[in-house]
Amino acid sequence: MHSVTRRLISIPALLVAAVLLVVLLPLWLPLAVLVDAIRGRWRLPIARLLGFALGWAWLETAGVAAAAAMWVAGRSTDTARHYALQRWWAANLMAWLRVTTGIRVETHGVEAFTPGPTVLLCRHASLADSLVSAWVITHLAHATPRYVLKRELLADPCLDVVGNRLPNHFLDREATDSTAELDALTALSRGMGPDDVAIIFPEGTRASNAKRSRALQKIGERDPERATRLAGLRHLIPPRPAGASALLAGCPEADVVLAWHIGFDGLDTFGGILRHLARKPLPVVFTARRIPRADVPSGDAFTAWIDQHWLTLDDAVDDLLHLVEPTRSTAHTQE
């Protein structure tokens, strides 16, 4: 769909949703509370989710309005102002997430992102992964991200408008020829400086047991040895090395940052989100670790390298999930 046509649909739909959520608040709030009560869910997950949707819709609307104002003022190519808008959006949306859902985020290893350039390889477990990483990178690390995101996210009007004015790439996962997409990733990371972080989710999709099984089956058809190597994964799914390798090729001096988290597991569907909100949430724990570029191989050896680190991340996630109370002594807690 052409960008103009897409925005003529998505932006009015966003405005209508934002207005309706306010106007109909006296209707949907007591109704949501009643449904939650009837179902015995006393943390009111439906009401909380709709409350988050209300804040999200107005923050999105404010972001689109700010982007429009910059366009009118002739500032549509002002990267610094758009990064400031992204930082404001991520910080406020994270604060609203905490208010409406009670979810708090603890971060470890924020210092791994600076100085840049760095390439972040991040676990993908939920619909909130891009938001959390944007908040960590822009608000805590004070760095400027360059995202690799799936093209379907262009349905989000704020991400569509602002995201296309910043150095990001919206990946076409259905492309028959991957060469152009990989070339675009190499171009994305080229010329990164000390404040820049290129971000990719090597799994390519949110992890689930079914997706893990399918991915291992496909790998087994092409490379049985690799499938056997990755068969022990319990929480992550096998990484796709091509995109990460392309980003690293564009910036040979960039170190690698590995990031993993717990607390958002299961938030990959609407039902999963409601089940998560129905119980008191444990803090989301986001951890990052930096690896010097000299320790990162290239070529065919890169696949074995990322596989081994993905298995290590899987063990780390499993260990964290088995902790009753995550260690907080060295954590930065969301303010």
Overall average pLDDT of the 201-213 stretch:
89
Count the helices and strands in the chain (H runs, E runs): 12, 8
Mean pLDDT, rounded, of the chain: 90
Q: Give residue-wise pLDDT tens across range 265-284.
A: 766 666 777 777 778 777 88
| Stronger pLDDT, 101 or 145, i.e. the higher one | 145
More reliable by pLDDT, 12 or 323: 12
Best CA proximity match to 102, nearest among 314, 329, 320, 276: 276
Q: Which DSSP string do the residues of 26-72 spell out, in sequence order?
A: HHHHHHHHHHHHHTT-TT-HHHHHHHHHHHHHHHHHHHHHHHHHHHH
Q: What percent of the chain has pLDDT over 90?
A: 73
Provide the pLDDT confidence category of residue 102 given band limits of 50, 70 and 90. Answer: confident
Beta strands in 225-265 (DSSP E): 255-262
Q: Is the pLDDT of residue 61 over 60?
A: yes
| Contact call for residues 165 and 76 (beta carbons, < 8 A) | yes
Residue-wise pLDDT tens digits, 224-271: 999 999 999 999 999 999 999 999 999 999 999 999 988 877 666 667
Contact partners, residue 162, CB within 8 Å, separation at least 6: 63, 67, 82, 85, 86, 89
| Cα–Cα distance for residue pair 203/285, rounded to 1 Å | 19
pLDDT tens-digit map of 154-203: 999 999 999 999 999 999 877 777 899 999 999 999 999 999 999 999 99
Region of poorest pLDDT, from 3-12, 259-268, 303-312: 259-268
What pLDDT is attached to residue 334? 52
Q: Is 74 helix (H, G, I), strand (E, B) or coil?
A: coil
